[in-house]
Amino acid sequence: MALSRRRRNEDAPYWPGFVDAMAQLLLVIIFLLSVFMIAQFLLARQISGQDSALGQLKSQISELTQLLALEKASKADSDAQLLALTDDLNAQKVKTADLLASLQAENNNATSAGSTITGLQTALDDEKKLSSDALAKVELLNQQIAAMRRQLSQISALLDDSEARNRGSETQIADLGRRLNTALAQKVQELSKFRSEFFGRLRQILSQRSDILVVGDRFVFQAEVLFPKANADLNDAGQAEMLKLADAIKQLETEIPPDIAWVLRVDGHTDTDQLRNSVFKSNWELSAARAISVVKFLVAQGVSPNHLVAAGFGEFQPLAPGDTEEAKSENRRIELKLTER
């Protein structure tokens, strides 16, 4: 029976012990986990507190930085004020030095004031003497001014007399002007009378020619009567006509009084045709050369050159408008006009 128990004991299962061991292990693990969680909680609280402390430290550092900036600004203002005070102090020192120098100079001046006063007294005496001399000169000047005023009064009276004489002279000049105009008008009338007589005589002399016209107060010779074409030398017929004219002018010179200034103007005119193969470069030169040729011929016949004038007008003073042969022939001419000089 004892043997049978031993066998039962030896055959009993070992599972309960294993369960006990596992339960104990689980308890240990749970305990470790609890300890770990508590440690984590404590560590988290510690870290949170550190973060809060770190934020406070940052805030304090920011406040300290602002305070430092304000302190620097205050220090800069203080330095500026100190520099300004230093400058004021230096300026005050300079003013003080200048004031001391001025006081020293015034002291020196005060020392020499006695001698200066003496010099001033001497100068005052000299000025008094000069003043008396100046008063004498002023008196002399007053006398001279009075004399000059008397002279001015005399000159003014003379000027009044001169103005009165000038007014009389102006009246005489106006009267002379009227007389002169009257005399000139008489001379013009006399010249007009001689002009009429001269042209009347020329009409009688040249009445047989139809190519010599009277236009107003001028005698007009057609150029073909006196000159070859594009030439300024008098032809034989032209010289014959100019001989008659020279005789009439010489007789007129003996009849017109020498106090009448008169001339016979010889005007040369051409047509509008341009010159070709000619010694003259333009119609203007041709017209002037023809007038000069007539004047030279009259002078050679004994007419006084003082009573002759030559002028060239070219084609710029036509008698007949247009470009027809009749108009051109009429415009090629020599004109004679008796006029005052």
Residue count (the chain) = 341
Q: Tell me how far apart the alpha carbons of residues 287 and 223 are, in angstroms, rounded to a whole number.
A: 10
Q: With a cut of 70, say whether residue 2 has pLDDT above it.
A: no
- One-letter amino acid at 82 equals L
Rounded Cα distance between 270 and 203, Å, is 24
> With 60 as the cut, is the pLDDT of residue 26 above it?
yes
pLDDT digits (tens, 9 = 90+) for 144-159: 777 777 887 787 777 7
Quick one: pLDDT at residue 1?
47
Mean pLDDT of the chain: 79
Q: What is the pLDDT of residue 176?
A: 65
Looking at residues 29-50, what average pLDDT do you find? 84
46-55, 141-150, 174-183: the lowest-pLDDT one: 174-183
Quickly tell me which residue has 């009338």 as its tokens: 189
pTM of whole model > 0.75?
Answer: no
- Alpha carbon dihedral 235, 236, 242, 243, in 10-degree steps, equals 150
pLDDT of 182: 56
The pLDDT value recorded for residue 95 is 80
The CATH-assigned architecture of domain 208-340 is 2-Layer Sandwich (3.30)
Q: Which two tokens stand for residue 23?
A: 């339960």
**For position 268, what pLDDT does the model report?**
96
Phi, psi angles (nearest 5°) of residue 292: -65, -40
Angle at which helices 236-255 and 283-300 pack, to 10 degrees?
60
Per the CB < 8 A criterion, the answer to whether 198 and 214 are in contact is no
The Cα-based distances of 214 to 31, 269, 303, 319 in angstroms read 167, 16, 22, 13
* pLDDT tens-digit series, residues 270-306: 999 988 877 898 999 999 999 999 999 999 999 999 9
Question: Confidence class of residue 100 from pLDDT cuts 50, 70 and 90?
Answer: confident
154: alpha, beta or left? (left if phi > 0; alpha if psi -120 to 50) = alpha
Mean pLDDT of 243-263: 86
* Residue 184 scores a pLDDT above 60: no
Q: Is the pLDDT of residue 224 over 60?
A: yes
Q: For residues 264 and 297, what is the distance between their CA atoms, to the nearest angstrom? A: 14
d(CA 197, CA 191): 10
- Structural domain spans, the chain: 20-72, 208-340
- Which residue did the predictor score with more confidence, 60 or 289? 289
The pLDDT value recorded for residue 327 is 92
**Mean pLDDT confidence for 308-333:** 93
- 4-13, 100-109, 195-204, 254-263: which is most confident: 254-263
